[in-house]
């Protein structure tokens, strides 16, 4: 008995590919970027242009200011207020180094040793953000007051004698001294250092530490050769997020310092709101921005993380 083999049904022709409309498909990314571009245009670029034009104006508040392209305002402002510029860089740099020294061990602890308490510690790190920046600084004014426990402890340990010789305190007090300003900057911007460091450390594969141990590397060698190099993006990001706002800050120097600890942010605030010398204030703002931009660029290139620019 012969077996009849049925022929397979004919294959259906493939459906034609549906291509998206060329015009709409190409414009979608630009439409998505449009809100952000408009935001930057209105609230960043336009104020920058206005400030640039203000810095080259001459006149007075009564007579009005006119654009006369008076670029000598920049040189006059820098020649008069260069001590405040150097002081701002010194205070911000010192606070950044202290934040790195304090924040790196804590970020390391959260990333590798916190365990189930990791989220709790992270909440404690960001908890100060739930309080106003001004209130936190006023709290430090109370903590560092002349009759407070901090000054009493430092006097007992004779620490103020050393700091007086270094010129960072005055007599038996801490308030209204460079030490108070640096302490305020360090406290207020410490979370900006810890969070990028934790993010960078948390991404490191723990098996790399195990491999280093299998190769008989000491813990210090593992940290120097493995952990710290891999955490450099967090170090660079944290130092930038700390140094940039700290160098332009004026609240800490205003509340915790004195006339001898004024930073360039205090000068800009005074020129804008009290003296009403808008060209000088605008010129100082642009000089500060240019100085920070140059220092940040050199720092990033020096650290070998140009991809962060």
pLDDT value of position 189? 95
Tens of pLDDT along the chain (309 residues) come to 455 555 566 666 666 666 555 556 678 888 889 999 999 999 999 999 999 999 999 988 888 889 899 999 999 999 999 999 999 999 999 999 999 999 999 999 999 988 889 999 999 999 988 989 999 999 999 999 888 888 888 888 877 877 776 678 777 788 989 999 999 999 999 999 999 999 999 999 888 888 988 888 898 999 999 999 999 999 999 999 999 999 999 999 999 998 889 999 999 999 999 988 999 999 999 999 999 999 998 888 887 655 554
Length of the chain: 309
CA neighbours closer than 13 Å in the CB half-sphere of residue 199: 12
**Quick one: angle between helices 118-126 and 178-202, nearest 10?**
150
- Helix boundaries (H) for the chain: 22-40, 46-55, 72-112, 118-126, 133-143, 149-156, 159-166, 178-202, 206-214, 219-222, 228-230, 232-247, 251-256, 264-270, 278-303
CA torsion, ordered 135, 136, 141, 145, to nearest 10 deg: 120
| Domain ranges within the chain, ordered by starting residue | 48-79+263-309, 92-261
pLDDT value of position 146? 85
CATH of domain 92-261: 1.10.3720.10
Q: By three-state DSSP, how is residue 173 classified?
A: strand
Of 193, 196, 180, 177, nearest in space to 144 by CA: 180
pLDDT value of position 309? 46
Tokens 């660079």 belong to which residue? Answer: 236
């Amino acid at each position: 008995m012969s077996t009849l083999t049925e022929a397979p049904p004919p294959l259906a022709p493939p459906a034609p590919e549906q291509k998206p409309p060329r015009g709409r498909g190409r414009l979608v990314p630009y439409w998505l970027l449009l809100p952000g571009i408009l935001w930057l245009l209105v609230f960043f670029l336009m104020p920058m242009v206005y400030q640039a034009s203000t810095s080259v104006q001459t006149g007075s508040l009564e007579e009005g200011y006119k654009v006369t392209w008076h670029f000598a305002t920049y040189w006059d402002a820098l020649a008069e207020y260069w001590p405040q510029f150097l002081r701002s860089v010194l205070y911000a740099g010192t606070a950044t180094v202290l934040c790195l020294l304090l924040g790196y061990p804590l970020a390391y602890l959260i990333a590798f040793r916190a365990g189930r308490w990791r989220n709790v510690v992270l909440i404690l790190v960001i908890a100060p953000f739930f309080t106003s920046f001004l209130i936190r600084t006023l709290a430090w004014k109370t903590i560092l007051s002349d009759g407070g426990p901090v000054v009493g402890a430092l006097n007992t340990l004779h620490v103020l004698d050393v700091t007086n010789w270094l010129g960072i305190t005055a007599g038996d007090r801490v308030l209204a001294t460079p030490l108070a300003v640096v302490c305020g900057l360090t406290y207020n911007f410490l979370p900006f250092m810890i969070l990028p460091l934790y993010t960078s450390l948390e991404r490191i594969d723990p098996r790399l530490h195990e491999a280093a141990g299998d190769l008989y590397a000491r813990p210090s060698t593992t940290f120097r050769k493995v952990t710290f190099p891999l955490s450099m993006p967090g170090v660079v990001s944290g130092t930038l997020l700390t140094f940039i706002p700290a160098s332009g800050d004026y609240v800490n120097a205003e509340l915790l310092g004195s006339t001898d600890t004024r930073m360039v942010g205090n000068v800009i605030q005074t020129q804008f709101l009290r003296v009403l010398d808008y060209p000088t204030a605008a010129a100082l703002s642009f000089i500060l921005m240019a100085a920070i931009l140059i220092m940040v660029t050199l720092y990033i290139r020096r650290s070998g993380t140009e991809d962060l620019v």
